Amino acid sequence: MKKWKLLYNHKSKVDEIVKILLKNRGLTNKKEIDRFLNPRLSGVTAKSVGINKNQLEKTIKRINKAIKKKEEVIVFGDYDVDGISGAAILWETLTEAGAKALPYIPHRLDEGYGLSKIGIDNLLLKNPKIKLIITVDNGIVASEAVEYANKKGIDIIITDHHVPSKNLPNAHAIFHTTKLCGAGVAWLLSQEILNSKFEILNKSQITNHESQTNQHLELVALATVADLVPLTEANRTLVKFGIEDLRKTKRLGLLALIKEAGIDKDLIDIFEIGHVIAPRLNAMGRLEYAMDSLRLLCTKDLKRAEALTEKLGSTNKRRQELTISAFEHARLKITNLPAGKAGLKSQIPKLLFIAHESYQQGVIGLVAGRLVEEFYRPSIVLSIGEKYSKASARSIPGFNIIEFIRGASDLLVDAGGHPMAAGFTVETSKIAVLEKKFEELAVKLLDTEKLKRILNIDLEVLLSYINFEFYKKLQKLAPFGIGNPTPVFLSKNLTVEDMRLVGNDGLHLKLRVQKDGKYFDAIGFGLGDRANEIRIGDKIDLVYTIDEDRWNGNSRIQLKIKDFRKIE
């Protein structure tokens, strides 16, 4: 049962609603509102996101040196969409600037996450003359690997957005902010490279600076949405302009991927990125080798783009099957816990900690996310290995999971991540001790209020307010996502005129509701199991978002149901 929380509990006129929505998002003064409604790309700078000026200068000087001396430079990315996109951005920029650069993505199973000793050794086998490694979307907690590189005579520049540990790595320079995703940080560095005052390159070498900039924004949009960072301030600006560019993309790999997925390029938005494009790009890094996803983003060969797209598509289907299998297994383990420990849903542990040797490392983060959706508990899922085990964690609003995990750092090999998503490595022999420590910490830190599923509702509106003009006003607040949610409305005392189940196995609930002669269709995705709560003719209070339903060239307004309550 969701607890409804009305953020604005007063009667409102239709022309006041956008102002109320802005206030609900913490935007009250004129300057903030103007910046939100009229974002400017020029406002996203290293300074505006808090990147250290001295570290920026050291970064640019070292890259300048590498270009002048024709040193071999490695762009060391990560195997998710953020790391792949960021690596593509920085590698393309460096190459255009005249650097002798190569991209590198570590193998999840063979090398693990981020910069590592084994990764450096593997690079040196192929490129013994490496003098500079630039990390993308990793490195801020890689102190041991950085020291190892230093001993090998390799300078490290870290570009990252993850939460740092207390002691920063002894890198040549650290280009870091938590206000962007990893690819956003890489994009900012690419802008600094292209606009450098250090005469990093002959400007005539860059054939079309503006084209290069815009071409990379589409990758920043992909990464920002896929990495689930808040769509506020600089992130929102980059995604807004990036989506516009994504709809016009000329990247052959993305065009092939969009075609294979069967989506309309002109209508690509947050949903299509997060649920269609990103999972395909992520699939390779989860189960195979993410270099193929990077190759797809950068290829200029149509046949290769099509072949790589087919490979990504089939790998993604396998990823879906493994995720479902592991999730069902984990779910059963939780629901079958002894009554004293779990039993009824309300008695399920405050923190879910599930480990099994059958879980693939590449899908445990997805399984943890599904457990959070199902049970509304912070969830940690481990893939048990012979000597070491890998874990992924997902959290609920208001509970900083990386801070929580670091509370047991004495038992861990390493840990990194964000407040809402993190990961760590632990010696397999210490799993039982770690679980006990996490249970004790969770009891202290997670109260019952935090574990209540809350549905935030912006305000109550009349059905008579809703039309295409109203919908277009709401779109001024887009793009919507974490930190800037789609506006949620409440309409009371509606009559259910019609209802039916739609989709496979009647998974979704379709209603037709009306009040005072105003009718709307409403769809409740995944709410088919609640059809027995109401009948035609019943009165309900409805919580929903407003969507444009496009079909066969026609458009109409549709309500997307978040929740409902029958009026007794």
Positive or negative: CA dihedral 368, 374, 378, 381: negative
Beta strand extents in 395-507 (DSSP E only):
412-417, 421-427, 454-460, 489-502
- Tell me what pLDDT residue 550 has: 82
For domain 337-445, which architecture applies? Answer: Roll (3.10)
**What is the value of pTM for the model shown?**
0.90
- Tell me what pLDDT residue 418 has: 87
Q: How many CB atoms lie within 10 A of CB 407?
A: 15
Given a cut of 90, whether residue 344 has pLDDT beyond it is: no
Q: pLDDT per residue over 480-506, tens digit each?
A: 998 899 999 999 999 999 999 999 889
* Cα 414 to Cα 412: distance, rounded to the nearest angstrom: 5
pLDDT tier, 336 (very low <50, low <70, confident <90, very high otherwise): confident
Given a cut of 50, whether residue 526 has pLDDT beyond it is: yes
- Tell me what pLDDT residue 200 has: 47
Given a cut of 60, whether residue 340 has pLDDT beyond it is: no
- Tell me what pLDDT residue 198 has: 44
Q: pLDDT per residue over 132-148, tens digit each?
A: 999 999 999 999 999 99
Q: pLDDT per residue over 220-258, tens digit each?
A: 999 999 998 999 999 999 999 999 999 999 999 999 999
Q: pLDDT per residue over 148-191, tens digit each?
A: 999 999 999 999 999 898 899 999 999 999 999 999 999 999 99
Structure tokens at 179: 């206000």
- Tell me what pLDDT residue 129 has: 94
Given a cut of 90, whether residue 549 has pLDDT beyond it is: no
Element (H, E) at 392: strand 388-394
CATH class of 3-37+454-566: mainly beta
Given a cut of 50, whether residue 298 has pLDDT beyond it is: yes
Given a cut of 70, whether residue 346 has pLDDT beyond it is: no
Given a cut of 60, whether residue 345 has pLDDT beyond it is: no
For domain 44-207, which architecture applies? Answer: Alpha-Beta Complex (3.90)
Q: Locate the domains of the chain by residue range.
A: 3-37+454-566, 44-207, 337-445
3-state secondary structure 27-93: CCCHHHHHHHHCCCHHHCCCCCCCCCHHHHHHHHHHHHHHHHCCCEEEEECCCCHHHHHHHHHHHHH
Q: Write the CA distances from 101 to 185, 342, 529, integer angstroms.
A: 18, 54, 55
- Tell me what pLDDT residue 239 has: 97
Rg (alpha carbons) of the chain, rounded to whole number: 25
- Tell me what pLDDT residue 167 has: 92
pLDDT tier, 109 (very low <50, low <70, confident <90, very high otherwise): confident
* Cα 401 to Cα 396: distance, rounded to the nearest angstrom: 9
Please state the rounded mean pLDDT for residues 50-71: 96
Given a cut of 60, whether residue 313 has pLDDT beyond it is: yes
368 exposed, middle or buried (CB, 10 Å; 0-12, 13-18, 19+)? Answer: buried
Element (H, E) at 125: helix 117-126
- Tell me what pLDDT residue 71 has: 97
Given a cut of 80, whether residue 102 has pLDDT beyond it is: yes
Kindly compute the dihedral angle of the four CA atoms of residues 77, 79, 82, 88, in this order, to the nearest 10 degrees: 50
Q: pLDDT per residue over 117-129, tens digit each?
A: 999 999 999 999 9
* Cα 528 to Cα 539: distance, rounded to the nearest angstrom: 18
Please state the rounded mean pLDDT for residues 300-304: 97
- Tell me what pLDDT residue 338 has: 63
Q: pLDDT per residue over 184-210, tens digit each?
A: 999 999 999 988 744 544 444 544 444
For residue 397, cis peptide bond before it (omega within 30 degrees of 0) = no
